[in-house]
Structure 1
């Protein structure tokens, strides 16, 4: 899957660069960036009580700078490992809930428009994103049989099989100089990443909402080296 994403980005960059290069009267500047940083991840849902978790992110970007335009465009591919906490209890006898931790790996491809606020030094970024993600993975197998939230029999291991293809929107800002930039980005999931759970007829949702709905919420703070 990672190889396919890299090939998609490489093809897209080549296509756009070639198409724009046909306009010989404009000076088009291309750039490649490598970036890395930290994330804060959450799932916005009424089904569970969640706790935001921190993770890491890294990626590559290819920028087509159009000096005669008020914007720049870029293709981005990024990989991240994220964490999120969900409250659960050891059993129905023990009512005290505690946070149990899940891990989620994501691979994202984004096409971004960068509106030039102050030439190339400060831009406002926005664009669509396609995401492939792993299932939720319990960080401690000892929590597999914990009971989730208000449910009577829904176990922590039962909710790991979430949807793995999602569509997001990204908005943020980038600031810096020619060779180095900082970026803050918010990524919201338009699709229901818990939807796959609705197709699992073996789940016992007694005591809680039997319709699962959750949207990804991710903050990413990265430093970018541009070549």
Structure 2
């Protein structure tokens, strides 16, 4: 996974330089930003009963400022560790309880920053490609718990999240040329649970298709060089 991230970062850098060279007859400013912060993550689905959880996020942004335009553009690469809860029970006759799950995501995005107050306040929007790690049970003791709404599907059975997803991101950035705060909402357009449909759960009575879309909110602070 680390090698994949390095390749993506190099690709972003090359793309940024290419844009700058293509517009060399126009004055532009290229910046690099480092940022980190917190996430609120959930999966919107009818299959599971979920609760959102908190995590962390960090990344790198390569920005191209276009003084002659009403927008700027940037390429970002970020890694996040997300958490969420899914209701399950030790056995079919037990009361349900929350099982905590963790998931690592790596995201690459192309963002357009619409200038509301020059570079001090912008609305950010753009597409995002995401690599998603397994959905891991935080407490191994709960791995055999039966997921609510099912009779045979356990917590450890639902680890196979679809590895590649396409998201949309929208947010707001505010601050100064060297420091910004950013709030961003990320929604998954693709079915993040789709790979579970390839699994066979012998004896399971619930045969409905697995379908879910990720929902993430990120609040970050960025230092710009």
Q: Which residue of 1 aligns with 2:44?
A: 44
Q: 1:60 to 1:203 in 2, by over 3 A?
A: farther
Counterpart of 2:105 in structure 1 is 106
Q: How far, CA to CA, are the matches of 1:220 and 1:154 in structure 2?
A: 31
Q: 1:214 aligns with which of 212, 218, 221?
A: 212
Given candidates 208, 212, 222, the residue that maps to 1:224 is: 222
Deviating 4+ runs (over 4 angstroms): none
Contact conserved, 1:33 with 1:62, CA < 8 A, in 2? yes
Gaps of 5+ in 2: none
Contact 1:21 1:28 in 2 (8 A): no
Whether 2:85 is the aligned partner of 1:78: answer no
Q: Supply the distance in 1 between the matched residues of 2:187 and 2:52 (Cα, whole angstroms).
A: 14
Q: Report the equivalent of 2:119.
A: 120
2:8 is matched with: 8
1:194 aligns with 2:211: no
- Give the Cα separation in 1 of the matches to 2:207 and 2:128: 29
1:110 and 1:129 in contact (8 A); partners too:
yes
Q: Cα distance, 1:11 vs. partner?
A: 2.6
In 2, the alpha carbon distance for the partners of 1:209 and 1:168 equals: 27
* Equivalent residues of 1:5, 1:109 under 8 A apart: no
Cα RMSD of the aligned pairs, angstroms, is 1.4
1:216 CA displacement: 0.4
Q: What SS does the aligned partner of 1:47 have?
A: coil
Unaligned runs of 5+ in 1: none
- Cα deviation code 1:74-102 (max 9, x no counterpart): 000000100000001110121x1100100
Q: Distance in 2 between matches of 1:32 and 1:69?
A: 20
TM-score by length of 1: 0.94
Helix, strand or coil: the match of 1:9?
helix
The aligned counterpart of 1:93 is 93
CA pair 196-22 structure 1, distance change in 2 beyond 3 A: closer
Cα distance in 2 for partners of 1:39, 1:204 equals: 37
Contact 2:32 2:63 in 1 (8 A): yes
SS at match of 2:98: strand
Distance 1:141 1:181, change over 3 A: same
Alpha carbons 1:154, 1:203 under 8 Å: kept: no
When the two structures are superposed, what TM-score results if normalisation uses the length of structure 2? 0.95
